[in-house]
Amino acid sequence: MIILEDTRQKPDRHKIKHAWFEANGIEVRRTKLYVGDYTMPVSQQICVDSKFSISELAQDECSQHDRFKAELERAKESGIKLYILIENESFTLKGGVESPYISKLEDLHRWINPRLWIRKNGKQAYPKAIRGQQLMKICMTQEKKYGCEFVFCRPQDAGAKIIELLGGQDG
């Protein structure tokens, strides 16, 4: 099987996926994609845009909102089904506060943004950092408006999840 990977995707951030692809006989060819990070060579009507963490998704939604929104609009206008695959694990912050593993969009309200726990000179450094509840509402609105779908998985499952989302077709 062959899949296409966008050349703007940083390979060094995705070693676990690449190792899974290689171990499962999937050839990855790099090329510039119209939307997303992964697609099939024969039909690009399904694309997967991968995020290595919920924090990356939050950054895209906040500081890179116009770029991210433009990608969602391009996909919708072109009739492309765009999945946004967010890799994540549970983690513990200072003070023992735990942000759980998120397996579906409806649970994103439980995510705790690590930026909210950063302190400078005894004060919260980023008091306006997005919270899980806000991020969930934004993503739900985008699903309705653009027809995209937010999917969550653990990093070790991302390679298999990409193939599943793409339909597992031979390319």
Q: What is the pLDDT of residues 115-139, one digit of tens each?
A: 888 888 888 888 889 999 999 999 9
Q: Residue 11 has what pLDDT?
A: 72
Closest listed residue to residue 25, CA positions, set 161, 166, 160: 160
Q: Residue 64 has what pLDDT?
A: 86
In CATH terms, the fold of domain 2-90+136-166 is: Rossmann fold (3.40.50)
What value does the mean pLDDT of the chain take?
93
Q: Residue 143 has what pLDDT?
A: 98
Residue the block writes with tokens 């099939």 = 40
**DSSP secondary structure, 67-98, as one string:** HHHHHHHHHHHTT-EEEEEEE---EE-GGG-E
Interval 4-8 mean pLDDT: 95
Query: Which stretches of the chain are DSSP H helices?
Result: 15-23, 54-62, 65-77, 132-146, 158-166
pTM of the model: 0.92
State pLDDT tens for residues 38-84: 999 999 999 999 999 999 999 999 888 899 999 999 999 999 999 99
